[in-house]
A and B are shown apart, each in its own frame.
Chain A
Amino acid sequence: MSEPGPYSDAVGRLFREAPGAGRPDGPGWVSGEAREPLSATHVRWHLQATAGRVAASRYEVRGCPHTIAAAALIAAQLDGRPVADLGLDLPRVAALLGCPTTKLGRLFVIQDAIERAAHVLGAEQA
């Protein structure tokens, strides 16, 4: 019998499939970027909005399996949300994925990238 690995099934699935990953083509996209040098985590988030709400999101990420899985999970949850209110419940995301608390800092990189993208969107709409 093997010991359970350090990653939950959800992390395994989201890491393998990475739904929503990639650099988008076409007009109407804005991007935000954030890095965390200690772990070399790097996230670039792309947002498209309609009538002040997120119409679609894409992401590019270099990071650990938890970070990649969290990006995929968050991307699936952003559609339809008001651009002005894209705050994330990262402790809940971490809990859903079984992400260790020592890695919470990496998840904040995702939030920073999304906030920067949202800021660009807000500036364009203003």
Chain B
Amino acid sequence: MSTTAPIYLDHAATSPLDGRVRAVMLACLESPPGNPASTHAAGRAARARVEAARAEVAALIAAPPAAIVFTSGATEADNLAILGSARGNAVRGRHIVSVRTEHRAVLDACGRLEREGFAVTLLTPDRQGLVEPGALRAALTPTTTLVSVMLVNNETGVVQDIAALAAECREHGTLLHVDAAQAAGRIPIDVAALDVDLLSLSAHKIHGPVGVGALYVRREPRPTLVPLQFGGGQEGGLRSGTLAVHQIAGMGEAFRLAAIEGPSESARLAGLRDRLWRALQTLPGSHLNGHPERRAPHILNVSFEGVDGEALLFALGDLAVASGAACGAESGEPSYVLRALGRDDALARASLRVSFGRPTTVEEVDVAATRVRDAVGRLRSLAPA
């Protein structure tokens, strides 16, 4: 392939809609209108599409369909889990525990709770990004009602040992919420085996549509959760609002495909990830961010000594990847996730997150490796020794 053609390796940000998902969505959009809450035939047809999708989403995480609440995305699911759970259990206690490396959808929800008078403890993971169960145990207090830890980190791809953390929560009688936006379809998820109470999901990270997600809410025992929006009482009263049938159907199809193709696709993506790392690690001063083994197959995060992350991203041109400096390009703020792993500001800023998806090819990965190596080499040649 051309060495200058655009290459998209930012699937952890969003992944392209699968053609099969698009077909399902179009079929919905071209069908007669129907509100799933209506009892006439068109409404019942819409309801059937929603329930079919609910079953597919539930199947991917080994949950009963009734445990799935559709939302507008993982951010809303995170917000509903954290705000809804904390507020709903405030009479039992007002202390929440989470981790410094969580997604902003979790951290900002925790910040909101702090402004409402809750106490929030943020754990610092070890240098490889893992949360020690002992550290969680030490943070739990008699007033802790919720722990929120993500399954796959969106920047580093580190996979937490959720079952071990869940055991601590269970012993303490604390609810556990897990943000699995980057995990679904990439690694196996069994909510019963993980023993989680609440789990957030996203469609567009696995080739589904943007604008739809879901929250798994354990059925037995069902955690107390108060809604964040009010209206028609849809989704068991937890998420009022007319259901976006075509979005939900798209999510269902994306999850169905992930269930079928996920295992082989994940193995392929892990091969691409390792191939790229092998090519980049020969550059002196390159550092893998996150645990070397407990990693999701689709994310690689590497820091490079002696270069500026924003300049590196710019030098890569039409190679679409994420940078540890990108979010704070104007403010100069380095990635808070990499800082929490102990990287200094310069290395945290000079990082690239490369993430792979269904369309990614070996050829693209090889071209990407060449472009990154060339860009790092050039920027280092400009910099003071």
**Which residues of A are interface residues toward B (Cβ below 8 A)?**
6-7, 15, 18, 21-23, 33, 37-44, 60-65, 67-68, 100, 102-103
Q: Is B116 an interface residue (CB 8 A)?
A: no
Docked-complex contact A40 and B384, CB < 8 angstroms: no
The residue from A6, A37, A40, A60 contacting B308, defined by CB atoms under 8 A apart: A40
Docked-complex contact B332 and A6, CB < 8 angstroms: no
Docked-complex contact A103 and B330, CB < 8 angstroms: yes
In angstroms, how far is the closest chain A Cβ from the Cβ of B362? 27
Q: Which of B269-323 contact A (CB under 8 A)?
A: 306-308, 310-311, 314-315
Cα–Cα, bound, A68→B381 (Å): 12
A100 proximity list for chain B (CB < 8 A) = 330
The residue from A6, A39, A60, A64 contacting B382, defined by CB atoms under 8 A apart: A60
Cα–Cα, bound, A68→B385 (Å): 16
B384 proximity list for chain A (CB < 8 A) = 33, 42-44, 60-62
Q: Which of B346-385 contact A (CB under 8 A)?
A: 346, 349-350, 379, 381-385
Which of A6, A15, A62, A68 is packed against the most chain B CB atoms within 10 Å? A62
A39 proximity list for chain B (CB < 8 A) = 308, 332, 349
Cα–Cα, bound, A116→B307 (Å): 23
In angstroms, how far is the closest chain B Cβ from the Cβ of A21? 5
B26 proximity list for chain A (CB < 8 A) = none
Docked-complex contact A40 and B330, CB < 8 angstroms: no
Cα–Cα, bound, A100→B330 (Å): 8
Docked-complex contact B314 and A65, CB < 8 angstroms: yes
Cα–Cα, bound, A43→B349 (Å): 17
Residue of A nearest to B329 (CB): A6
Q: Is B2 an interface residue (CB 8 A)?
A: no
A63 proximity list for chain B (CB < 8 A) = 308, 311
Q: Is B345 an interface residue (CB 8 A)?
A: yes
- CB-CB nearest 10 A-B residue pairs: A62-B383, A40-B346, A44-B384, A60-B384, A39-B332, A64-B310, A65-B314, A102-B330, A21-B382, A65-B311
**Which residues of B are interface residues toward A (Cβ below 8 A)?**
306-308, 310-311, 314-315, 329-332, 345-346, 349-350, 379, 381-385
Given known pairs A7-B314, A37-B345, the reply for A61 and B330 (CB within 8 Å) is no
Cα–Cα, bound, A86→B95 (Å): 58
B332 proximity list for chain A (CB < 8 A) = 38-39, 102-103
Residue of A nearest to B348 (CB): A40
The residue from A6, A22, A64 contacting B311, defined by CB atoms under 8 A apart: A64
Docked-complex contact A38 and B382, CB < 8 angstroms: no
In angstroms, how far is the closest chain A Cβ from the Cβ of B242? 31
Cα–Cα, bound, A60→B383 (Å): 5
Residue of A nearest to B383 (CB): A62
B383 proximity list for chain A (CB < 8 A) = 42, 60-62
A103 proximity list for chain B (CB < 8 A) = 330, 332
B314 proximity list for chain A (CB < 8 A) = 7, 15, 65
Cα–Cα, bound, A120→B345 (Å): 31
Cα–Cα, bound, A42→B382 (Å): 11
Docked-complex contact A62 and B330, CB < 8 angstroms: no
Cα–Cα, bound, A18→B382 (Å): 8
B346 proximity list for chain A (CB < 8 A) = 40
Q: Told that A44-B384, A61-B383 touch, could you supply 15 new A-B pairs with CB distance under 8 A?
A: A6-B329, A15-B311, A33-B384, A38-B345, A39-B332, A40-B308, A40-B345, A40-B346, A60-B382, A60-B383, A61-B382, A62-B307, A62-B384, A64-B329, A65-B311
